[in-house]
Amino acid sequence: MLWSLSVEEIFYLAFPIACLLFRTEGLLLVPLLGLIVIGPINRTLFANEDPWGQYAYLSCMDGIAFGCLAALICARWRLSVGALRLLLTSGATMAALVILLVNEDSHTGAARYGLNITALEAGIALMLVAFGSGVGNGSSSIGTGWLRAIGRSSYEIYLFHMFVLLGLMNLFQRLHPVTTLIPLWYGGMLLLSIVLGLWVSRRYSEPLNRRFRSDGRGSDRSLKSLAVTPANSTDP
């Protein structure tokens, strides 16, 4: 968990700086595409040096780069429903094939060159473009309100699940439950992690997000009012 958080923190620190340096979205594509190219190279170079093959910064940043590209496409391009459905189908197929057919520990085929991860990331990015543009939302939302609520709070669940695990694993080791009860323990840990994440999201993250966004809109309105005041005022 701490490793993945460190990758994200590097992104949070570097991405705003990159935006300031490159200024335009067109120029921002250069480092994003560079990370996508470097990812499989880095995974190949460090394939036999565990854990750096999969866990080095440059072995993972291409996934974040794919996510940024998906966000840019959703924001700037208006694709037809047919094209978006094709992206969704293609992306899901690519991701499924990688998961089902590629053994990343074998270091053969696509995994030998680190391209299995690239294909998986590309497939998920295509799916993100489709879902981000609204395709499939209607049909996939039937009876899935609870699942979508978990998805919206997934980051909080991810961040805070370790508190549940660290707290209960010690108790688990002391009690030594019979084998048949182990799935119940894992199910209980999962349920508590979800509940804790939902609570943090609703009581902390979302109220703070609303406050930041309302303050931002208030600042924008203040700046606009200051900008038009001189034009509307008259000298005494």
Q: List pLDDT tens digits, range 35-85.
A: 999 999 988 888 777 766 677 788 888 999 999 999 999 988 888 888 999
Between CA 43 and CA 150 the distance in angstroms is 32
Tell me which of 109, 136, 163 is where a domain ends. Answer: 136
Question: 7 and 67 share a domain?
Answer: yes
Tell me which of 115, 136, 157 is where a domain ends. Answer: 136
Question: 52 and 96 share a domain?
Answer: yes
Question: 71 and 35 share a domain?
Answer: yes
pLDDT at 139 (0 to 100) = 60
- How does 154-186 read in b/e, with b if 16+ C-beta sit within 10 Å? eebbeebbeebeeebeeebeeeeeeeeeeeeee
Q: Which residue has the higher pLDDT, 70 or 138?
A: 70
> Could you check whether the bond before residue 177 is cis, i.e. omega within 30 degrees of 0?
no
pLDDT at 2 (0 to 100) = 58
Tell me which of 136, 154, 175 is where a domain ends. Answer: 136
**What average pLDDT does this structure show over 163-172?**
83
The answer to the question of residue 234 being in a domain is no
Angle at the Cα of 117 from the Cα atoms of 119 and 39, rounded to 5 degrees: 105
The answer to the question of residue 233 being in a domain is no
Range of the domain at 222: 143-227
The answer to the question of residue 236 being in a domain is no
Q: How confident is the model at residue 228 (pLDDT cuts 50, 70, 90)?
A: very low
Give 205's DSSP letter. I
Question: 104 and 174 share a domain?
Answer: no
Question: 121 and 55 share a domain?
Answer: yes
Question: 77 and 157 share a domain?
Answer: no
